[in-house]
Amino acid sequence: MPPASRSLRLLAFAVPAALAVSAVQPLLAAFTQQVSLLWALELAAPSLLVAGLLMVAGRLTDRKGDAQPPWYSAWALLPGAFLLAGAASMCLFGAFVEIPQIRVVSWELLPVGAIGWAAALVWVRRAAR
């Protein structure tokens, strides 16, 4: 089992990476003409931007060494990760159908999830000893 500090680094990468991979799906659907390109860009661009910003934030807040994260790390990170997973699922659904509510829900979940995830990540990393 890897040390908890490495697991936290992996998690700080995996959540934005999963969002980015999901955000690419509408673009792939647009290239195969399953959905319109404008629709795909409206879903993918904000999600890719947020994923990139979260990766940068995760990298900037990383503390080198084997600092142990606190016991409540999972509980602190879960709400933001859950909201970002919701935004990622909206991208996946948006690759199949063009329903306007998908875009609205995705745009609502992205900032709330990103703020929740980034704040929790900073909090957990500062509390690490």
Do 26 and 94 meet the contact criterion of CB atoms below 8 Å apart?
A: yes
pTM summary value: 0.91
Asked whether residue 1 carries a pLDDT value surpassing 70, the answer given is no
For residues 56 and 13, the answer to whether their CB atoms sit within 8 Å is: no
* CA 26 to each of CA 20, 34, 35, 95, 118: distance values in angstroms, whole numbers, following the listed order: 11, 9, 8, 4, 25
Residues in the chain: 129
What is the structure's pLDDT at 2?
66
Percent of the chain with pLDDT over 90: 74
- What would the pLDDT profile of 100-114 be if each residue is shown by its tens digit? 999 999 999 999 999
Of 108, 115, 109, 7, the residue nearest 54 (C-alpha):
115
pLDDT of 56 above 90: yes
**pLDDT tens readout for residues 20-46:** 999 999 999 999 999 999 999 999 999
Q: What pLDDT sits at residue 118?
A: 94
Indicate the domain borders of the chain.
Answer: 4-127
Question: 129: pLDDT confidence band, cut at 50, 70 and 90?
Answer: confident
